[in-house]
Amino acid sequence: MIRSSLLLALAIATAAQATAPHSDFKLTLSSTPSTPAARRARLHSSMSSLASSTRRDASNVTSEPLFDYFNGTDLQWYGDMTVGTPPQNFTVVFDTGSFTLEVPGTACGAACANQRQFNSSASSTFLDQNSSSTITFGTGVGVDPVVGDNWQLELELVADTFSIAGMTIPFGGFYLITNQTPTFLPDPFDGIRGLGPESAALFADGGYPAIFGMLFVPESEGGQGELTLGGVDTTKFSTSLLFSPQVGDGNWQLASEGIFVNRKTASILQNNLTLIFDSGTSNMLFEQSIAEAIYGMISPDIAPNTDEPGTYGIACDLIPTLPAVIDITFAGISGQDAFNLTIPSSELSSGPFTKKPELCQTLINVSEGFNLVGLSLLKHYYSVWDIDNQRIGFAPNGF
């Protein structure tokens, strides 16, 4: 079965910090770089004149196409960026569940054979920070839960120039992948570019306002989406944006005021929940009690698949007969009422299990201690991630 989607929460901005202000359920980080103040100074002061000379006007807005990795279901949307001088081309998942950039380096060799690898010796602006780390992901690329440490990267902290859709960071810290578990090898993209709620420095270094818009177009509608940096592409939606305020620190999180299934609810679904919003996650993750309450209101035939702990499924021939509309209510910002975001019935199935093709995996996996909204919802909306004002906005994308 295709693995669970990317979810990275490495608590290091462009200049490598040693402590993480946000939750670490997503990964384990070892060998964190020491003396962060000294490393920040090396990253920023050594090329401050270059950075200041390339600042852009605050009105800048730029866009980058996103392409759907489809493998039975919509898994990830990814786009282009460049690293180094002269620029070397890479594709990355633009991930609201993380903060940093990771791309393969030549040291990764055969372990990254299907991905492009950054040649640091070919870049005149490259700086090695001489620090290594290992990260273990809580989810991978797809819709299945992670098992143990089967999604793991070995990293080297470095610095160089990089550019996304014309937004150039003259000198910033990032990670080269020096080794990876075989689970990453089939990915059609090279790396990850984090866009978490504490990514203001990335936009400041590029001279753009700290706001971005995301459109994820399903394979059934052509599969091409869009990332807009520094603003919003108003041509991609026709109704007013509805915003909900960010709560807590570290992850993009909104406060849910209730969950409804086919316009009905249960007492456990009316408890206030903090939901993480992550463009790097393919499906949905809820604590077991919440997941089973939702499934119980869709069909009593939805049951755990013991072959793949954490997943649930139902006979594939029953899927078309089941209404499964999930509405989640969110608080509005000042001057806006609460509003619903809807996951349609078409998202119920994530496709057949490989070992049990008569059984289709359903969209919610069980998590341990957190609740997360992924692309099952996000691909039905144009979303606006407002870093400066710490809020997320939504408008139906019309598909």
pLDDT of residue 399: 64
Name the residue type at position 378. Answer: L
pLDDT at residue 200, rounded to an integer = 94
Does one domain contain both 186 and 267? no
Residues 119, 89, single domain; the answer is yes
159 — pLDDT class (breaks 50, 70, 90): very high
Catalytic member of 144, 205, 278, 386? 278
The type of residue at 331 is A
Average pLDDT on 102-129 reads 96
**Residue 314 forms part of a structural domain:** yes
Predicted confidence at residue 332, as pLDDT, reads 95
Among 52-66, 149-163, 269-283, 325-339, which is the least confidently predicted range?
52-66
Is 197 in the same domain as 341? no
- What is the band of 43 on the pLDDT scale with cuts at 50, 70, 90? very low
Q: Which of 168, 195, 229 is the last residue of a domain?
A: 229
- Out of 172, 197, 229, a domain closes at 229
> Given a cut of 50, is residue 38 above it in pLDDT?
no
Q: Do residues 243 and 207 share a domain?
A: no
Residue 22 lies inside a defined structural domain of this protein: no
Query: Is the C-alpha dihedral spanning 94, 100, 103, 109 positive or negative?
Result: negative
Torsion angle of the four alpha carbons 52, 56, 62, 68, in this order, in degrees rounded to the nearest 10: 10
**Predicted local distance difference test score (pLDDT) of residue 191:** 95
Instruction: Report which of 173, 182, 183, 79 is spatially closest to residue 128, judged by C-alpha positions.
Output: 173
Distance CA 281, CA 290 (A): 18
C-beta of residue 93 within 8 angstroms of C-beta of residue 76: yes
User: For residue 54, what is the domain's CATH number?
Assistant: 2.40.70.10
* Residue 176 predicted with pLDDT over 70: yes
pLDDT at 180 over 70: yes
In a domain? residue 42:
yes
Residue 381 lies in a domain: yes
What percent of the chain has a predicted confidence (pLDDT) above 70?
84
**Phi, psi (degrees; rounded to nearest 5) at 376:** -55, -30
- Both 331 and 357 in a single domain? yes
Q: Verify that 71 and 110 share a domain, yes or no.
A: yes
Query: Residue 67 — pLDDT band, cuts 50, 70, 90?
Result: very high
Residue 160: active-site member: no
* Whether residue 193 is found in the same domain as residue 238: no
Same domain? For 65 and 192 the reply is: yes
Using pLDDT thresholds of 50, 70 and 90, give the confidence band for residue 49: very low
What's the mean pLDDT in 381-395? 97
How is residue 197 written in tokens?
Answer: 């709620």
244 and 186 inside one domain: no
Tokens of 190: 């090279």
**Is 239 exposed, middle or buried (CB count within 10 Å of its CB: 0-12, 13-18, 19+)?**
exposed
Phi then psi for residue 141, to 5 deg, are: -120, 95
Does position 79 have pLDDT exceeding 80, yes or no?
yes
**288 located within any domain:** yes
Q: Which two tokens stand for residue 234?
A: 């108003």
For the residues 262-289, what does the mean pLDDT come to? Answer: 95
Average model confidence (pLDDT) across the chain = 85
Domain count for the chain? 2
The overall longest dimension of the chain from CA atoms, in Å, is: 64
- 118 lies in which domain range? 27-229
The answer to whether residue 95 is catalytic is: yes
User: Cα 332–139–178 angle (5° rounding)?
Assistant: 120
Question: Looking at the predicted structure, is the pLDDT value of residue 147 above 90?
Answer: no
Pair 240, 219 in one domain = no
**13, part of any domain:** no
Q: Is residue 9 part of a domain?
A: no
CA dist 67 and 220 (Å) reads 13
Residue 145 predicted with pLDDT over 80: no
Percent of the chain at pLDDT > 90 equals: 73
Question: Looking at 95, 144, 190, 386, which residue is catalytic?
Answer: 95
Which of these three, 177, 204, 229, is where a domain ends?
229
Grade residue 388 by pLDDT with cuts at 50, 70 and 90.
very high
Quick one: 202 and 238 in the same domain?
A: no
146 falls within a domain: yes
Q: Does position 154 have pLDDT exceeding 60, yes or no? A: yes
Residue 192 sits in the same domain as residue 277: no
The 8-class DSSP code of residue 292 comes to H
Residue 229 pLDDT > 70: yes
